[in-house]
Amino acid sequence: MIDLAHITLTFPDGTSRVTAIDDASLHVEAGSTVGITGPSGSGKSSLLAVASTLTTPDRGTVTIDGIEASGLSLPERAELRRTRVGLVFQQSNLLSSLTAFEQLLVMNELTTDRRRRGARHAARNRAAELLEAVGLSRDAGKRPSQLSGGQRQRVNIARALMHRPSVLIVDEPTSALDQERGTQIVDLLLRLTAEHDTATILVTHDQRILPRLTSAHMMIDGRLRPLEQDASVSASGR
Ligand SMILES: Nc1ncnc2c1ncn2[C@@H]1O[C@H](COP(=O)(O)OP(=O)(O)OP(=O)(O)O)[C@@H](O)[C@H]1O
């Protein structure tokens, strides 16, 4: 579960400040996929940065699984992000020299205690399971240059789930893909969100995706408005 309450974020702009997010609230339950769309510069990426606790808002709170990020020290917040937040970006940001399987294991090296007995074995099992879940078991030994754009995005999604995050933050997952492959990636995200019980926030310019999500919201000039409402997800903007 993630809850954003009355988030306001500003940036310096010459002698004044520009408001990137203006009193935005959003609640996403585990197992739900909430879409956010809106014009360029409306604040979508800023909202994702705040939701992932990478950026601290001027006002408002971010609560993940009942833990309020603003009440934490910087290392504690980094730990919250490391253990509970998964990130999927438009570009896959995969490491060119590693195979698909290794991309997932690298994530594990960063997120588990390597001294723990059995940790490596468990990580290898987890990586294999996730690659199977995204339909890439047979491509586990391929490097990014040997994979298609859609396949790279699948590796990216599998990697983001490696540490069992409760929140999945997804920024423009289909923008580099044709319509058919984009649809497949959205289907995959919806399925994995349900299976792994993540609270998923998905930013997209593609309006066609929105009706398939749990709910959708429009961001304009930093303000968030629900496009539709659902019992499991609510949002408000003022
Ligand atoms: N680091 C920054 N410093 C100053 N202003 C910023 C910064 N990041 C974002 N902004 C401003 O905040 C506003 C929101 O930007 P943001 O990138 O969140 O929009 P967006 O909806 O994600 O846009 P796009 O769809 O083009 O990616 C814009 O006016 C932008 O110029």
Q: For residue 154, what is the enclosing H or E element? A: helix 149-161
pLDDT tier, 229 (very low <50, low <70, confident <90, very high otherwise): very low
Ligand 1 pocket at CB < 6 A: 11, 18, 20, 38, 40-46
pLDDT tier, 119 (very low <50, low <70, confident <90, very high otherwise): confident
Task: List the one residue out of 189, 231, 236 whose CA is nearest residue 213.
Answer: 189
Q: What is the Cα 175 distance to its own chain's centre?
A: 15
- CA 128 to ligand 1 centroid distance, Å: 37
Query: Is 4:51 a contact under the CB 8 Å cutoff?
Result: yes
Please give the Cα distance from 168 to 130 (Å, whole number). 15
Through-space distance between the first and last CA atoms of the chain, rounded to whole angstroms: 22
pLDDT at 237 over 50: no
Index of the ligand 1 atom closest to the CA of residue 49:
18
pLDDT at 131 over 50: yes
- CA 47 to ligand 1 centroid distance, Å: 10
- Phi and psi, residue 96, nearest 5°: -65, -25
pLDDT at 187 over 60: yes
pLDDT at 70: 86
Number of domains in the chain: 1
ipTM of the shown complex: 0.95
Strands (E), the chain: 2-13, 16-28, 33-37, 59-64, 67-68, 85-88, 167-171, 199-203, 215-220, 223-226, 234-237
- Determine which of 99-113, 121-135, 137-151, 223-237 has the lowest per-residue pLDDT on average: 223-237
Residue type, 178: D
Which CATH number fits the domain that encloses residue 9? 3.40.50.300
For 159, the domain range is: 2-237
- CA 41 to ligand 1 centroid distance, Å: 5
- Share in percent of the chain as helix, strand, coil (round to 5): 40, 30, 35
Ligand 1 atom 29, closest CA: 41
Give the SS3 label for residue 120.
helix
- CA 39 to ligand 1 centroid distance, Å: 11
% pLDDT > 70, the chain: 91
- CA 172 to ligand 1 centroid distance, Å: 15
pLDDT at 116: 65
pLDDT at 71: 86
Ligand 1 atom 14, closest CA: 43
pLDDT digits (tens, 9 = 90+) for 19-77: 999 999 999 999 999 999 999 999 999 999 999 999 999 999 999 999 999 889 999 99
pLDDT at 177: 84
pTM (two decimals): 0.90
